[in-house]
Structure 1
Amino acid sequence: MTAVDATDEARHVHSDEELWNESYYYDFFAPDGSLGGYLRIGFIPNLNRVWYWACAVGPDRQLVTVVDNEVPLPTDPRSLELRTDALWADHTVEDPLVHATCNLEAFGLRVDDPAEMYRPEPRGERVAFGFELDWETNGEAYMWPPITPRYEIPCTVHGRVLIGSEEFEVDGFGQRDHSWGASRDWWANTWCWNAGRLEDNTRFHSTGALIPDSDFGVGYVIDPDDQLVEVDSVRVATEMGREGLPESAELAVGELELDVEPLAFSPVLLTHPDGREDRFPRALARFTSADERQGYGWIEWNQPPAG
């Protein structure tokens, strides 16, 4: 396995491909699955914009989310600070491959039904939303094989989340990843990404369902003793529900077999410049292994338009 280069934590020089993409994801979840969230910063320099998404969810909570796909690019090509009239977000790698911090001050949308986010103009309650969170590496950083430049890092996550007048302390787990250097055509390619942790401190990550009728995938399993095993076989079988929101899934990351129960969704609707729409449901989920170990994490399904 190729070691992750610490200098790759910084932003990268882009090519002239229209959909050249560089993204940073940060996920978190409480050990009991009662609260979770994520943020994504997606730089698309040749469209002169940043996609910024953030959310907080829970099995017994309404979704609160920020989805802004028209954030101006920072004037400094090295910066990870974003500003609009209704949003300030900053992201700092304090110690490469070890410690990162993320801060948000914004107005989010609180919705009763997560599928509302598939409307071109979703309806909900405007609410103050923010967080101050730290991601500390909890396991080996994993560099993908040379499919696309990307690495994944399992983490512990600490800090606080603010929703209106509520404040939540976070002392849990999560994942962060960084990818760059490729044209990411959301409207053509399917995938199922996931990352989580079981109660015995087994950590896992995979991306699969990339090729129809194939178990090809990318990922790892880290055992409780911090030994990482890379896998190249990922199987995903998904039971779909209303609005394309998955009801359940069976997932195999190498030899680790997991039942997946989505607990709370944070979907995103992505519209191509030519009008095509892509549905992207992300979910805080409960994972149960074949030997009944349970844990939590995040899972996503990219659902491009048919044909």
Structure 2
Amino acid sequence: MTDVAPVPASDEGRHAPGPEPLWNESWYFDWAQPDGSLGGYVRLGLYPNLGVAWYWGCLVGEGRPLVTVIDHEVPIPTSGLEVRTEGLWAAHNVETPLDHWSLGCESFAVALDDPAETYGDLRGDRVPFGFDLEWETEGGVYPYPGIDRYEVPCRVHGEVLVGQERIAIDGSGQRDHSWGVRDWWTYHWSWTSSALDDGTRTHATQVALGDDELFSTGYVQPPGGTPRAVGHVSRGQDLGREGLPDRGWVHLDDLELAIEPLHFSPVLLTGPEGQTSRFPRALCRYRAGDGRTGVGWTEWNQPTPAG
């Protein structure tokens, strides 16, 4: 494993867009309770050359429906990262660069008993949904090599509101920020992060075109330490109904993690030319080969074959 370069604090803000139609800038935030009973994530993606922003927010958990907000026609904010549209207000604030973000949301969400219904017409019970959550860096920041993106392991705390229910949150999480061309409809990828019970944090990404790996990277952050880049990442999964993975695995050098998806919050992605991709994202439990366990999130991008 190797040390990583620092990330400038100025990278936390918005960047000047490139000319490509699929140029995108996104901020991801996820969280999980330590026992895996509850979790959620938020993604804000700006597509200035398409004239829209995408907003996703969700809550998943044991014995409860998926509660999700998916809006791919949000007006791009003129400045900052506060978005407003019918039935949705969301703010994403840098409190201290590279150290502390706060997120707020007031919205109406859809509750679904079957997460795969997000691949259909997204009809379900309409419920009030909101949150006031804080992401505070735990350890350090990991920049991707050669790509404008970085990952940050965090502690997450605050409140989530669903209908009349008010839920206190205190768990682990991950956030990331990236900018550049994002083609959901050509490349397959898997992204995963974990918080293990001894305090170890991990992240791994692998991108492929068909059966050919194009890029992979990852880190292991030891308890009380900072991220160290790993030399090799490999991964795999067994797919179930609707392409939702039943199980998976990831190797980061000599650390092997079995992935058990617990609760899914998928998204159907439709491109500017009508192309589609399924994007299952799941709150997961992880088990290392030495018996350590943990929680976190894994995603699998699944472009629909042409024709």
TM-score between the two structures when normalised by the length of structure 1: 0.96
The answer to whether the 8 A contact 1:204-1:221 is kept is yes
**Are 2:109 and 1:108 aligned?**
yes
Contact conserved, 2:235 with 2:251, CA < 8 A, in 1? yes
**202-211 or 150-159: bigger deviation:** 202-211
Q: Residue 215 of structure 1: CA displacement?
A: 9.1
Q: Does 1:282 align with 2:281?
A: yes
**Offset at residue 274 of structure 1 (A):** 1.4
Q: In structure 2, give the amino acid aligned to 1:5.
A: P
Q: How many residues align?
A: 302
What is the alpha-carbon distance in structure 1 between the residues aligned to residue 6 and residue 38 of structure 2?
32
Partner letter of residue 63 of structure 2? D
Give yes or no for the alignment of 1:63 onto 2:66.
yes
The residue that corresponds to 1:202 in the other structure is 200
Q: Is the 8 A contact 1:285 1:297 kept in 2?
A: yes
Deviation track 1:20-69 (CA, whole Å, cap 9, x = no partner) reads: 00000000010111100000000000011000000000132210000000
- Cα distance in 2 for partners of 1:208, 1:123 equals 33
Asked whether the 8 Å contact 1:215–1:234 carries over to 2, the reply is no
Please state if 1:16 is matched with 2:27. no
- The answer to whether structure 1 residue 138 and structure 2 residue 141 are counterparts is no
Residues 141 and 227 in structure 2, CA contact (< 8 A), matched pair in contact too: no
Instruction: Look up the match of 1:124.
Output: 124
Matched letter for residue 165 of structure 1 = Q
The Cα offsets for residues 246-299 of structure 1, whole Å up to 9 and x where unpaired, read as 000011122210110000000000011211110000000000000111100000
Write out aligned runs for 1:217-296 (5 A): 217-296=216-295
Contact 1:65 1:110 in 2 (8 A): yes
Q: Does 1:192 align with 2:190?
A: yes
Residue 6, structure 1, aligned to residue 34, structure 2: no
Matches within 5 A, 1:36-51: 36-51=39-54
Deviation at residue 209 of structure 1 after TM alignment:
4.5
- CA apart distance, 1:229: 2.0
Q: Kindly, what percent of the aligned residue pairs are identical? A: 52
Distance apart, 1:232 and its partner CA: 3.6
Partner of 2:91: 90
Distance 1:241 1:152, change over 3 A: same
Contact kept? 1:216, 1:232, Cα under 8 Å: no
Residue 210 of structure 1 deviates from its aligned partner by 2.7
